[in-house]
Each structure stands twice: as C-alpha cells, then as structure tokens.
A and B are shown apart, each in its own frame.
Chain A
Amino acid sequence: MLATRAISLVGKRAISTSICVRGGHGVAKVDDYALPAYFDRRENPLPDVQFVTELSAEQKSLKEKEKGSWATLSNEEKIALYRISFKQSFAEMNEGTKEWKSVIAGMFFFIGMTGLVVLWQRKFVYGPVPPTFESEWKEKEVQRMLDMRINPVEGFSAKWDYENKEWKK
C-alpha cells in the first residue's frame, strides 16, 4: 500500500526501475509492458502518461515556469510544453496516409496481369471456335430463321421487311 502511494507521487515512468515490496516476502519487478503506455487516439485525448518521460534541464525549468502565469509563456514555450506531454497533435494523428495510391496501383497491376494471362490462354490454350460462328454460316442461319418466321409478331421476324427483303427501318 505504501509502495503504491509512493509510486503515484513519483508519477512518471521512472517507476519502471523501482520495485514493489509485497508483504516482506520478496520483490516483484514491474515490467515495462505492464505499465500504462502512451498512445495518440482521438477518443482518448489525455493518455495515461506523458510522452516525454525524462526531461532535460531546459524542459524541467519550463515545467517550473508553467506553475506561474501562462500568459507569460511565449508561443514556442507553449508548444514545447505540449510536445512534452503529447507526441502528435490532433491534426498530425488524423492525417491520412497515401496508402490508397498503392492500393489502386496494385489493383490495376493485377487486372493487367490477368489480362495478359487471358490473352495468352486465347492463343495457346483454347482451340478454334465452332464453325457456327463463321459469318457465312450465320447468314444462312438468319435466313433459315426468317423462313421459319421466328417470333413474327413482336420479335425477330417482325423486324424483317419481307417485301423489300431488308431489315425494317
């Protein structure tokens, strides 16, 4: 109990090197990962610890000055105080990355690769198409359909002008 009170008074991450004595039995070293960590999150504006743990002499004197009137602090000093406590400002942490460009580039690349594979397949894998695709065959097919009067009311043959032997305009 006394040890934890002492640690709360110290406040900073210096406690990583101190030890807890529990019930006089032995010591329990407090590992780094078990301590509160600093992180910049929009939803957690005030993290559990300051960003800068060991302050330089200049920073320490600035912290002392902070105890007085804030109006006497210059803008640079105020920014310095902010940077002691926090790593990134909200503007910096919310900044987007340029990752989307890589994503789009990757997409186009793989679509292109697939296109090349398809072309190669057409040339080297697939055999010829059936003769029914030849234009001569198709002409005979269409003529046969017209002769049979396929869909004469609203569909295929309805569009053919039998008098003038051409498609209706």
Chain B
Amino acid sequence: MQASTETVFLYPPTPLSARCYSHAKVETDEEFDARWVTYFSKPDIDAWELKKGMNTLIGYDLVPEPKILDSALRACRRLNDLASAIRILEAVKDKSGPHKDIYPYLIQELQPTLTELGISTPEDLGMDIL
C-alpha cells in the first residue's frame, strides 16, 4: 500500500491576476480633491454643512490641498463666518503634525485668497502662541 504522492488542491492555485481583493474602484487623489472642492463650492452651503465638511475632512489621514481649503474659506465668506476661517487655518496647521513645512506652503498658496477675503492668519493675530 503506497501512500499517494500527489498533492490534492482544495482550491486550485490562483494566478496573480485573479487574487481575492476587493473589486471596489479606488478614488484617485484628483477625484478626491474635486469632490471636496465641489462640496464647499455649493453657493447656498449652510453652516452645518460647512462644519460637517470640515470636521470630516480633518478626520481623514491627510492635510487638505490648498484648493480644497480655498473653497472652504470662500464658503466661510458666504456664511459671514470669519472665526471659522481662522479656525480652519489653525486646524490644518495642527493636522500637519511634525511636518512643519506643510503649513507655510499652504499659506503661500492661499495668500491671494487670504488677501482678497481679508482673512488674517492666526500668526497675524498672535493666536498661535500662548
């Protein structure tokens, strides 16, 4: 009685191209950015939507692109909410964490918008120090 030397496959070996990963389409960075710019660009955005959008965006593991922030700041302008605009700038600086070069870049990119809308940065107001 010889033991069988054939190996029996319960499932046939899967070629690399047919792995059992999720088939969901991954959103590209551009699509993500565009989606959020559109969200904040809504002309009649209300205060709740602004808060919800910002809080959700800050919850993600990323620092938002300047164009998203530009859209959000303009939404603040439509809502006559300067405090939220300054808060958004504080929040993205905090979000950058140890990467100290992100915030200056964002301010540099947003400077035209900040000047146009008359938004002061937390640094201008001395709010970044205790």
Interface residues of A (CB under 8 A from B): 11, 42-48, 66-67, 69-73, 75, 78-79, 81-82, 84-86, 89-92, 94-95
Interface residues of B (CB under 8 A from A): 47, 50-51, 54-55, 58-59, 77, 80-84, 86-88, 90-91, 93-94, 117-120, 122, 124-130
**Is A73 a contact of B84 with CB atoms below 8 Å?**
no
User: What's the Cα separation between A120 and B127 when bound, in Å?
Assistant: 56
Shortest Cβ gap from A96 to chain B (Å)? 11
Shortest Cβ gap from A6 to chain B (Å)? 15
Chain B residues contacting A48 (CB-CB under 8 Å) are: 51
Task: Indicate the member of A42, A44, A81, A90 with the most B CB atoms within 10 Å.
Answer: A90
Number of A-B contacts (CB under 8 A): 81
User: What's the Cα separation between A78 and B94 when bound, in Å?
Assistant: 20
User: What's the Cα separation between A78 and B55 when bound, in Å?
Assistant: 22
Shortest Cβ gap from A46 to chain B (Å)? 4
Chain A residues contacting B127 (CB-CB under 8 Å) are: 79, 82, 89, 91
**Is A75 a contact of B124 with CB atoms below 8 Å?**
yes
Task: Indicate the member of B87, B119, B122 with the most A CB atoms within 10 Å.
Answer: B87
**Is A46 a contact of B50 with CB atoms below 8 Å?**
yes
Given that A11-B47, A66-B82, A90-B94 are known contacts, is A46 also in contact with B87, CB under 8 Å in the complex?
yes
**Is A92 a contact of B125 with CB atoms below 8 Å?**
no
Q: Which chain B residue has the least Cβ–Cβ distance from A8?
A: B48
Chain A residues contacting B51 (CB-CB under 8 Å) are: 46-48
**Is B118 a contact of A46 with CB atoms below 8 Å?**
no
